[in-house]
């Protein structure tokens, strides 16, 4: 099969395929190394971002971790059910709830952070240090336009 340049389209050379494979590799390392099997990568991301920010609205949280609102709502609900996150009334906006990491959530994060660092190290282990930095820089550059557009578009809903 050829594209408009008469060069063969090889699946294993396509960015989407390679990114998916890299994601699978990172997820496999996460699942193997995390000390708890009850925390998924998106749940870990949400919990960590909430801890970094302190109290945060669900809309803002979803934008910052780049997860759509219906998905972040499910993640937050599961974290609340497990006692890792609390919902609190916003004193400035009575109709809005703020999310907060509980002491149990903080303990879970502290248990997982060393493994999270190891996940990144193992995912990048086949690259030299300069290649690791270059890959991270290029991935940031690749996602920057979509992140800016997504965050700007959703700002009106907070």
Query: CA 108 to CA 36: how far, in whole Å?
Result: 8
pLDDT of residue 151: 47
Q: What is the mean pLDDT of residues 2-21?
A: 86
CB 75 within 8 A of CB 46: yes
Sketch the domain layout of the chain as residue ranges: 38-116, 125-158
pLDDT of residue 4: 64
pTM: 0.81
What's the DSSP call for residue 75? H
* 98 bridge partner residues: 57, 88
Summarised one tens digit per residue, pLDDT across range 46-68 is: 999 999 999 999 999 999 999 99
* 101 bridge partner residues: 85
Query: CA 62 to CA 143: how far, in whole Å?
Result: 16
Fold designation for 38-116: Arc Repressor Mutant, subunit A (1.10.10)
Rounded to 5 degrees, what angle do the CA atoms 96, 101, 106 make?
175
Q: What is the mean pLDDT of residues 77-93?
A: 92
Query: CA 103 to CA 86: how far, in whole Å?
Result: 10
The answer, yes or no, to whether residue 33 has pLDDT greater than 90, is yes
Residue 95 — pLDDT band, cuts 50, 70, 90? confident
Residue 115 — pLDDT band, cuts 50, 70, 90? very high
Nearest alpha-carbon partner for 138 in 42, 30, 1, 19: 19
Q: What percent of the chain lies above the pLDDT cut of 70?
A: 89
């Amino acid at each position: 099969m050829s594209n408009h340049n008469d060069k063969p389209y090889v699946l294993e050379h396509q960015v989407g395929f390679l990114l998916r494979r890299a994601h699978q590799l990172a997820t496999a390392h996460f699942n193997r190394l995390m000390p708890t099997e009850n925390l998924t990568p998106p749940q870990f991301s949400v919990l960590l971002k909430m801890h970094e920010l302190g109290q945060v609205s669900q809309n803002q949280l979803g934008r910052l971790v780049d997860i759509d609102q219906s998905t972040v709502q499910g993640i937050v609900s599961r974290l609340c059910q497990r006692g890792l996150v609390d919902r609190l009334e916003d004193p400035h906006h009575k109709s809005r709830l703020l999310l907060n990491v509980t002491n149990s959530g903080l303990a879970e994060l502290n248990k997982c952070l060393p493994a999270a660092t190891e996940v990144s190290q193992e995912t990048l282990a086949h690259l030299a240090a300069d290649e690791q930095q270059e890959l991270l820089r290029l991935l940031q550059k690749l996602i920057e336009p979509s992140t800016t557009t997504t965050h700007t578009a959703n700002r009106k809903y907070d």
